[in-house]
A = this chain, B = another copy of it.
Amino acid sequence: MVAKLTDVAKRAGVSPTTVSRVINRKGYLSEKTIHKVEEAMQELGYKPNNLARSLQGKSSRFIGLIFPNVSNIFYAELINSLEIRLFEQGYKAILCNSEKNPSKEREYLQMLDANQVDGIISGSHNLGIEDYRKVDAPIISFDRNLAPDIPIVSSDNFEGGRLAAKTLRHAGVKHPIIISGRDDSGSPTKRRGEGFRDVLPETKIIHIPGDYSPIRKKMELQMALRKEKPDGLFASDDTTALLAMQIIDQAGFTVPDDIKIIGYDGTAMVTTYFPRLTTIQQPIAEIAQVLVEVLLKKINHEPVDAEYILPVSLLPGKSI
């Protein structure tokens, strides 16, 4: 039998109320009582039941994290930073992989609501506005337009695209192409391509859905390269850039002599283990920090902006 508050009360010879006061350091307590109660808690190995607490309107201190998956290294690093920030603030993270699966995302959304989470951070977008509206908990989004009133935190996708284009142009590239995950509904990510074309107009964009297998992605890439014969390539994320580099190497061409490559994301993993790749780096830790800050503001009913755009930076490698 697990000891509960009333057991502690009996053992300490006080009322449940007093025990509650000791736990929460609330109201007037005599040193003696505090001591007695703490002793009793020790002896019984008492642990407060958080569910019971949350029931009287106390917050659960749970935050839902909805992302397509954790195996993508960019999400992994972002989620890692989010967990650290949330823990600092006394919140616990519920991990929800939406897997590009609307019904799973919907189920998770309802579950989070049913479990009285204090808030939700979402980098996924499989559902319609109505689904998000139904949720009571405040939501903040990473890099997605979920609904008009849901704040978005993202890196400066447009400037990032511009920076990539300027970098390629400066290296003498004349015929670049853009390889992009399919511009999934209302993601500001497509701004990367727009920024690029702001500098180098009429650059062709090849869409390769992010959920294709690496093998299939490679084949599509191969075809694109053969057809377009580019001398420069901007991949909208680093793993796609890595794939492109593999193909180019295998085809007997040389990076950067024949084709220059620039990616996007700049995760610790890729920059550490694949420093060869030149890329545009998103400030992952800052993004996480802002996401949590803004969410906490919303939870506390403080005013927040509609959009928070964080600066990117060029991370030079040997692929340009």
Contact = CB atoms under 8 A, between A and B. Distances in A.
The CB with the most chain B CB atoms within 10 A, among A80, A95, A136, is that of: A95
Contacts of A95: 65, 79, 83, 93-95
Interface stretch (A42-50, A143-151, A298-306, A309-317): A42-50
Interface string A181-202: 0000000000000000000000
Oligomer copy total: 2
A297 B45 CA distance: 26
Interface stretch (A12-20, A26-34, A160-168, A269-277): A269-277
A55 interface: yes
A286 to B, nearest CB: 15
A51 B54 contact: yes
Given A111-B92, A214-B272, A87 B79 contact: no
A242 B97 contact: no
Nearest to A268: B71
A243 B111 contact: no
B73 A73 contact: yes
Contacts of A251: none
Contacts of A116: 49-51
Nearest to A276: B246
Interface string A60-93: 1010010001110100110110011001000011
Interface string A252-293: 000000000000000011001111000000000000000000
Nearest to A135: B47
Contacts of A104: 87
Nearest to A112: B92
Contact of A55 (B51, B84, B97): B51
B115 A51 contact: yes
B273 A50 contact: no
Nearest to A269: B73
A97 B80 contact: yes
B134 A45 contact: yes
Contacts of A111: 50, 92
A97 B83 CA distance: 7
Nearest to A113: B47
List the 8 closest A-B pairs by CB distance, nearest first: A76-B76, A71-B80, A70-B80, A95-B95, A50-B114, A93-B95, A50-B115, A242-B273
Interface of A: 2, 45, 47-52, 54-55, 60, 62, 65, 69-71, 73, 76-77, 79-80, 83-84, 87, 92-97, 99, 104, 110-111, 113-116, 134, 136, 214, 239, 242-243, 246, 268-269, 272-275
18 contacts: A47-B136, A49-B116, A50-B114, A50-B116, A51-B55, A70-B70, A70-B77, A70-B79, A70-B80, A70-B83, A71-B269, A73-B73, A73-B76, A83-B95, A87-B104, A95-B95, A239-B272, A246-B275
Given A95-B95, A269-B269, 7 more contacts: A2-B136, A50-B111, A62-B94, A70-B70, A70-B76, A71-B76, A87-B104
